Amino acid sequence: METLHPWHLDFSKPPEPALELRSAPVVSLVLPCFNEQEVLPETTRRLVVLLDRLKAEGRAAPGSAIYYVDDGSSDCTWRLIGEYAAAFPTVCGIKLSRNRGHQNALLCGLLTAPGEVLVSLDADLQDDLDAIPRMLDDYRAGSEIVYAVRRCRAVDSFFKRCSAEGYYRLLALLGVQVQFNHADFRLMSRRAVETLRDYEETHLFLRGLVPQLGYRTSVVEFDRASRFAGESKYPLRKMLALAWEGVTSFTASPLRLITGAGVLVSLGSLLLTAWALGIRLFTHEAVPGWASGVIPMYLLGGVQLLSLGIIGEYLAKVYESTKKRPRFHVEVVCGNSFRKDTP
């Protein structure tokens, strides 16, 4: 038998610890809701079946539950949540005092719901529920955050697909760390959620905030389905607002672009001056006062207005952050997990 000497051993890499799977966690499914009365019955039915299956397979522990966050709905959403909470022991509800927006409602659910693992998803059934067991497997293998990433955007229109993918590339170009083609369908461990609690962001963009936490992450791909019922609560106006939040909340690149634009405008003005002098000295086609007045006026005026707008946006964020107003208020909760007599 060959004898191994110390010089035969490879000390270039530390030995990898033996991988030990975590035990089945208590899972909380967090779903922000805004006027979702049309889809809520089917969503509840599927999620209740999913939780029962996860428990039977040993992927989720007893005590796992569904947490709907009513973001100030004006229809029968909260009434339905209350009925389901009374009918199913695994359904709970959190009602905000008023509409605070999707990101704040989602944060409220994450910070309010108990559980060792929290999975955030939309209530419209576009997120593939079959991806959740795979996300839990990654958690049990050691991941603290698991991103559910769209494999393709076949259900999106050409405009939405191109604009969304272009936006993710723009964020990466500006230095914002985001997961490509990932929205808010993700798994977070209790450790990651408690770390997220320390971030007191006034303008929330969780897609950019969660990667700031660090910790071990993994990716699970899924195919996004069409909306089961109802209408999208994110029209173009809200999508553009969320996109702008993502840019201005995580990078100062627009301010630096203003400096670059100032340099370019200065160089352009010098070139324009040289061109105007050339026309005046060597030709007879010069129009008195046109080149020196009209072009610089429109050019500089547009750049100044754009620059003031961008600076004003950042100043507004500073102003709103200094007020330190609460991001949401919980009006009422319902469900077994919030009852004092529940262990």
DSSP 92-147: EEEEESS---HHHHHHHHHHHS-SSEEEE--TTS-S-TTHHHHHHHHHHTT-SEEE
pLDDT above 90: percentage of residues in the chain: 19
How far apart (Å, rounded) are the C-alpha atoms in residues 26 and 59?
9
**Which residues is 33 bridged to in the sheet?**
70
Flag the least confident range among 61-75, 119-133, 140-154: 140-154
Helix, strand, coil percentages, rounded to 5, for the chain: 50, 15, 40
The whole-number pLDDT of residue 245 equals 62
Helical (H) or strand (E) element with 191: helix 190-197
Res 119 pLDDT > 90: yes
Query: What's the N-to-C CA distance of the chain in angstroms?
Result: 60
Which tens digit of pLDDT belongs to each residue from 284-313? 665 566 555 666 666 666 667 667 767 776
- What does the mean pLDDT of the chain come to? 76
Where are the domains positioned within the chain?
Answer: 27-238+326-338, 253-323
The whole-number pLDDT of residue 29 equals 94
How far apart (Å, rounded) are the C-alpha atoms in residues 2 and 239?
66
Q: Among residues 75, 69, 71, which one has the least CA distance to residue 38?
A: 75
The whole-number pLDDT of residue 343 equals 37
pTM surpassing 0.75?
Answer: no
Q: Among residues 56, 53, 60, which one has the least CA distance to residue 24?
A: 60
SS3 of residue 187 by DSSP: strand
Assign domain 27-238+326-338 one CATH number from 3.30.2390.10, 3.90.550.10, 3.30.930.10, 3.40.50.300: 3.90.550.10
